[in-house]
Amino acid sequence: MALTLGQARPRNRERTDGPDLGLLAAVLVLGVTALAVVWPALLAPADPIQADPARALIPPGPEALLGTDQLGRDILTRIVHGARYSLLAGLASTALGLVIGVPLGVLTGMLDGVGNEVGLRLIDVLSAFPGILLALVVIAITGPGPVGLVLALGSALVPTFTRLVRAETRRVHRSAYVEQARTMGLGPLRIAWRHVLPNTLRALPAIATIAIAGAILGAASLSFIGLGAQPPSPEWGALLAEGRNHLRTAWWLSVFPGLALAVVAVAINTVGRRLQRRLDRKAPE
């Protein structure tokens, strides 16, 4: 399922000399994608919604680079204009997951004894609903649409962040300097805000980046099954849902939007892994 994160951490074994071509390519892809989000008309001036029956189902070629759909709309144009929906949904739901998950992680991580045990079980309960099922329940209550989509994906990400921040908090909370702060008479809230939180955040960028990729795929998946963006929106999952109906005759409707999705996800995951590797190198066991 697309909501989950790659858990493996690449090791330092890989060569590090020479320019990092993978990272360069990833940044390039993300740059073009960002442009498509901010100013799609610059990359694809045509209208992504307007139908033109005379140009229906043209295969990829000189007339239309990636072909046209059953209503004569240019696929490349639709993909460029759709980037906005898919990416913003991924970013917004990751942000929501962080806003809820991080404080919850700090809180349950700072508790000792019974409180800690309760916190641990709470996270277990939250994780007991597999991500997409949690998302389905949320959407059933809010109804399909962008708000429900972000709420659904965001709440599915909460346990991931809570778990990570909780583990980091426990590590920091037991360290000597927090002990010292306590003996100096600092209150728990002040310790949490000034000393624990900043130190737990160092692990977040890598995981959050990888989570964005997962959330983008999740948003597309939910739109594909009709619970996110609705046609005629050119959201990538919605494009693929339309493409499914023409798979036999027009493969390009289904291939290119998915390719765009995969390329962007690979790029984001590549950046996330570089962040992770840097973190691993900075903090040897």
Partner 1 sequence: MLRPVVLRVLSLVVVLWGTVTLAFLAIHAIPGDPVQLLIGPRDIGPEARARIVAEWGLDRPLPVQYLDYLWGLLQGDLGYSYVRKRPVADIIAAQLWPTVELALAGLLVAVGAALLSAVPTAGRRRAGSVARTAELVIVSTPEFWLGLVLLFVFSFTLSWFPVAGADGFRALVLPALALGLGTAAMLAQLLREGMADALDEPFVLTARARGIGDGRLRVRHVLRNAAVAPVAMAGFAFGNLLGGAVIVEQVFGRPGVGRIALQAIEARDVPTLLGIALLAAFAFVVVTTVVELTTLLIDPRLRARAVS
* Contact set with partner 1 (CB under 8 A): 1-4, 6-11, 13-14, 121-122, 124-125, 127-134, 136-137, 139-141, 143-144, 213, 217, 220-221, 224-227, 237, 240, 243-244, 247-248, 251, 254-255, 258, 261-262, 265-266, 268-270, 273
In angstroms, rounded to a whole number, what is the distance separating the alpha carbons of residues 23 and 200?
A: 26
Taking the mean position of all CA atoms in its chain, how far away is CA 29?
16
CA distances from 50 to 47, 73, 77, 245, 264 (A): 6, 7, 11, 20, 26
Q: Tell me the closest approach of the beta carbon of residue 145 to partner 1, in angstroms.
A: 12
- In the complex with partner 1, which residue's Cβ is closer, 154 or 178? 154
**Which residue shows structure tokens 């739901």?**
93
DSSP state of 246: T
The residue among 2 and 92 lying less far from partner 1, judged by its C-beta, is 2
Length of the chain, please?
Answer: 285
CB atoms within 10 A of CB 166: 25
- Burial class of residue 141 (count of CB atoms within 10 Å of its CB; 0-12, 13-18, 19+): exposed
Choice between 14 and 17, CB closer to partner 1:
14
Nearer Cβ to partner 1 (186/255): 255
**Minimum separation from the CB atom of position 189 to partner 1 (A):** 27
The torsion defined by the Cα of 174, 180, 181 and 182, in degrees rounded to 10, comes to 70
Nearest approach in angstroms of CB 247 to partner 1 is: 5
β-bridge mates for residue 68, sequence order: 74
Task: Give the shortest CB-235-to-partner 1 separation in angstroms.
Answer: 13
The position carrying tokens 């989509």 is 149
Residue nearer to partner 1 on the CB measure, 31 or 226: 226
Query: What are phi and psi for residue 184, nearest 5 degrees?
Result: -80, 0
Residue number with CB closer to partner 1 (9 or 202): 9
Greatest alpha-carbon span in the chain: 78
Report how far apart, in Å, the C-alpha atoms of 192 and of each of 109, 111, 119, 162, 199 are: 10, 11, 16, 15, 10
Q: Using CB atoms within 10 A of its CB, is residue 4 exposed (0-12), middle (13-18) or buried (19+)?
A: middle
The least CB distance from residue 224 to partner 1, in Å, is 5
**Could you tell me the smallest distance in angstroms from the CB atom of residue 127 to partner 1?**
8
In angstroms, what is the minimal distance from the CB of 130 to partner 1?
Answer: 4
Nearest CB to partner 1, comparing residues 204 and 222? 222
